[in-house]
Structure 1
């Protein structure tokens, strides 16, 4: 058994590159910065922040959402898998790059205090979310307001 899973939370480094391939298939790519905070050791040595850059690739529905809502500086949560690809450059030298192919993306930060979960192609306008077609997750959250817009039996 093997597992190829990556989870990242970071900030988008530049506006996403959006391309449309044959049959109107959308692909988006951008860089994502994750930073480990620096600290001071007990001996007084300053350890600086360390930033890593990741190449993120999103396809189809996730790419279209990226096109609409993601820009430089946006904080995102990414789940995906590592993929390494290679090509020959102009001089015939073999080059490699490692990318994260995203399966899930969540837009973080404040935007009218809404949840912005993005995953797959099925859009739910009531929750401003996208979900996988085979998702079996059901919401158990009830509305705390009755029809007259008054609080109804809150536990506090």
Structure 2
């Protein structure tokens, strides 16, 4: 099984690089994360990440408001030919899901979650004895 879960991760200093594919215009975000090696230490491991689609657009648009994220995905290794003719290998986390774990102070009220605050949904009150 190839599954990676990272929590309490900081988005890297270079931020999130959002691009769109040439063919179908699908969004792809490339970014790095910093995760503490140990709860008590101030040493970090750094990982490159890739995120696709609407989540990529959303996290890119809100990155200045985010303090910590959590993510779930898989590790992938790919290779490419560098300009000097050498073959380079990259291992990165291809994210399936990213969540904001902590907002920067005072930033939550400015976030557009993409969901209207008012809706046509009427809550159901069935007055049942469900214990939760």
Normalising by structure 2, report the TM-score. 0.71
Cα distance, 1:80–1:125 mapped onto 2, change above 3 Å: farther
RMSD of the alignment, in Å?
A: 2.8
The answer to whether the 8 Å contact 2:72/2:95 transfers is yes
In structure 2, what is the equivalent of residue 11 of structure 1? Answer: 10
Contact map agreement 1:6 1:100 (CA 8 A) in 2: yes
TM-score normalised by L of structure 1: 0.61
Q: Which residue number in structure 2 is paired with residue 34 of structure 1?
A: 35
Partners of 2:33 and 2:47 within 8 A in 1: yes
**Structure 2: where are the runs of 5+ without partners?**
118-122, 126-130
Helix, strand or coil: the match of 1:61? helix
**Any conservation in 1 of the 2:66–2:102 contact (CA below 8 Å)?**
no
1:21-100 maps to which residues of 2 (within 5 A)?
A: 21=21, 22-37=23-38, 49-71=42-64, 74-100=67-93
After TM superposition, give the deviation of residue 74 of structure 1 in Å.
Answer: 2.9
Where do 5+ consecutive residues of structure 1 fail to align? 40-47, 117-122, 127-141, 147-154
Shift in CA distance, 61/73, structure 1 to aligned 2, threshold 3 Å: closer
Q: Please report how far the alpha carbon of residue 93 of structure 1 lies from its aligned counterpart in structure 2 after TM superposition.
A: 1.2
Q: Residues of 2 paired with 1:33 and 1:24: CA distance? A: 29
Q: Quick check: 1:57–1:102 contact (8 Å CA) kept in 2?
A: yes
If you compute each CA radius of gyration, which structure gives the higher value, 1 or 2? 1
How many equivalent residue pairs? 112
C-alpha distance in structure 1 between counterparts of 2:99 and 2:69, whole Å: 6
Q: Which has the higher contact order (CA 8 A, sep 6+)?
A: 2
Structure 1 stretch 70-79 or stretch 3-12: which is displaced more? 70-79
